[in-house]
Amino acid sequence: MLLPVSYNTVMFIDEARIYVRSGKGGDGMVHFLQQKFITHGGPDGGDGGRGGDIIFRVNPHMNTLQLFQHKSRFIAEDGHRGGINNQTGHNGKSLTVEVPAGTVIMDDTSGVVLADLIEKGQQIVLYRGGRGGKGNPHYANSRNQAPRTAEKGEPGEERFLRLELKLIADVGIVGMPNAGKSSLLAAVTNARPKIANYPFTTLEPNLGVVTLDDQNTLILADIPGLVEGAHMGIGLGDSFLRHIQRCRVIIHLLNGEEDNPLADYTQINSELALFDPRLGQKPQIVVLNKSDNPEVTQRVPALVSQFKKHGVELMVISALARTNLKDLLWKTAELLKNTPEEDEPTHTSIPVYKAVDDARDFQITHEEDDTWRIHGKAIERAAAMTYWEMEESLRRFQRLMETLGVDDALRKAGIENGDTVTIGDYEFEWQE
């Protein structure tokens, strides 16, 4: 007996663009020991705390990216400033962004895949918070026992990310518009997709769950109708095709009322293979729908024979009259049982790869009004971590500029006294 389960209809959102920023490290402190009877106490400024991380975690109760239509900025807490008596500031709280299983996270600019989260509870620290700045005790030495300099916290990392959701279903139902995919899903589950007799009624994938018995449950995904050129994005086809990538078995539904179901079958398979060659290799159950129509019933023997000549076994059903649905679902369950998950490379997690920053990498551009801009992640980070109001910190940054070769590069580029040098958000006047 088929036991449909409850199904809540929600707006299916499968793409989102968000901004994330990990926390800035807390600033180190300049402070000197102040106790009774001690007139010249040593440095005791504490280090800043580490900024909070940006973490992504799978929430098994989420099934769309709808949340991100209303909230698109995710910023972790900054680390706290260091205190007196060498007290380290508190670390900033990390921020966990929850996403549904099947979410692919990509850099919005480059399109590089950063993570593919598919398992319940799976999580990944995508961006670490900045480290805390050093307090002034770190700068004490035999020649300078009372350093009046410290270090600001390291800036956090910020990115625009693109999220894409690929449905995680056991079975994907594919076919031409009007093949009856939504009707089939509604007939075997309590899903309530919109159903009408014209192309592209279904503009959102729908999920449904059917329980065959205590040991056999199927998760079905009704993939919106495809048309010729779907693999190139025609009719939103490429957006729909990616949802089939995670399905292990395909129910290929054909409209028995069409003139040439075999041509439709060939076209859909071509679109699958052109989008991803692995899709063309997934096991399929080919099903002719709308057998409740007497004209279709008369054509069934000829169509079964036609498909058999091409090595395809054709099942015949009626989603409307609910004919042969039980046989279809049990056959699907058996095929699913014999299709091992380990053969599906799309079920593996994609690790995070990050380029290692070369601290000496920088570029110089000459802009209008005698302004020279220094570009470079490391040098810009160092500038952001410097206390410019402290003379010792300024000298320390100047030594860093010399060590990295920035000074020499500016001279070779033709900088002159009085020119403006910009690094990140900071401006300086060049003086030899």
Amino acid of residue 227 = V
For the stretch 314-318, contacts whose Cβ atoms lie closer than 8 Å and that sit 24 or more positions apart, written own/partner, are 314/286, 314/287, 314/288, 315/285, 315/286, 315/287, 315/288, 316/256, 316/287, 316/288, 316/291, 317/184, 317/287, 317/288, 317/289, 317/291, 318/289, 318/290, 318/291, 318/292
Q: Which sequence spans correspond to the domains of the chain? A: 9-165, 171-344, 363-429
Which one, of 317, 262, 290, 292, lies nearest residue 197 by Cα?
Answer: 290
Q: Is 53 exposed, middle or buried (0-12, 13-18, 19+ CB in 10 A)?
A: buried
CA 162 to chain centre: 6
Correct CATH for 363-429 of 3.40.50.970, 3.30.300.350, 3.30.1330.40, 3.10.20.30: 3.30.300.350
The predicted pLDDT at position 342 comes to 44
Which residues have CB under 8 Å from 146's CB, separation 6+? 32, 40, 42, 43, 140
* Per-residue 3-state assignment (H helix, E strand, C coil) for the chain: CCEECCCCCCCCCCEEEEEEECCCCCCCCCCECCECCECCCCECCCCCCCCCCEEEEECCCCCCCHHHHCCCEEECCCCCCCCCCCCCCCCCCCEEEEECCCEEEEECCCCCEEEEECCCCCEEEEECCCCCCCCHHHHCCCCCCCCCCCECCCCCCEEEEEEEECCCCCEEEECCCCCCHHHHHHHHCCCCCCCCCCCCCCCCCEEEEEECCCCCEEEEEECCCCCCCHHHCHHHHHHHHHHHCCCCEEEEEEECCCCCHHHHHHHHHHHHHHHCCCHHHCCEEEEEECCCCHHHHHHHHHHHHHHHHCCCCEEECECCCCECHHHHHHHHHHHHHCCCHHHCHHHCCCCCCCCCCCCCCCEEEEECCCEEEEECHHHHHHHHCECCCCHHHHHHHHHHHHHHCHHHHHHHHCCCCCCEEEECCEEEECCC
Q: Does domain 9-165 have CATH number 2.70.210.12?
A: yes
Using CA atoms, how far residue 336 sits from 217, 265, 297, 320, in Å, is: 11, 21, 29, 25
Please give the class, per CATH, of domain 171-344: alpha beta
How far apart, in Å, do the first and last CA atoms of the chain sit? 88
Tell me the two tokens of residue 227.
């048309």
Q: Which residues contact 232 (CB under 8 A, 6 or more apart)?
A: 238
At 61 the pLDDT is 75
Q: 371-381 as b/e, with b when 16 or more CB fall inside 10 Å?
A: ebebebbebbb
Place of tokens 């010729």: 228
State how far the Cα of 26 lies from the Cα of 41, in Å rounded to an integer: 24
| 134 Cβ contact list (under 8 Å, min separation 6) | 28, 47, 150, 151
Check residue 353 and give its pLDDT: 28
> For every one of its 432 residues, what pLDDT tens digit does the chain have, with 9 covering 90 and above?
333 333 333 344 578 999 999 999 999 999 998 877 666 778 999 999 999 999 999 987 776 787 888 899 999 999 999 999 999 999 999 999 999 888 889 999 888 889 888 888 889 999 999 999 999 999 998 888 889 899 999 999 999 999 988 766 778 888 887 888 878 888 887 555 443 333 333 345 577 777 777 667 777 877 764 543 333 333 334 445 666 777 889 999 999 998 888 888 887 887 777 767 777 788 999 999 999 999 999 999 999 999 998 889 999 999 889 899 999 999 999 998 888 764 444 433 333 323 334 445 788 888 877 788 888 877 887 788 777 777 777 777 888 788 778 888 888 888 888 888 888 888 888 887
Question: Of 19, 21, 41, 22, nearest to 31 (Cα)?
Answer: 41
Torsion of CA 363, 364, 365, 367, to 10 degrees: 150
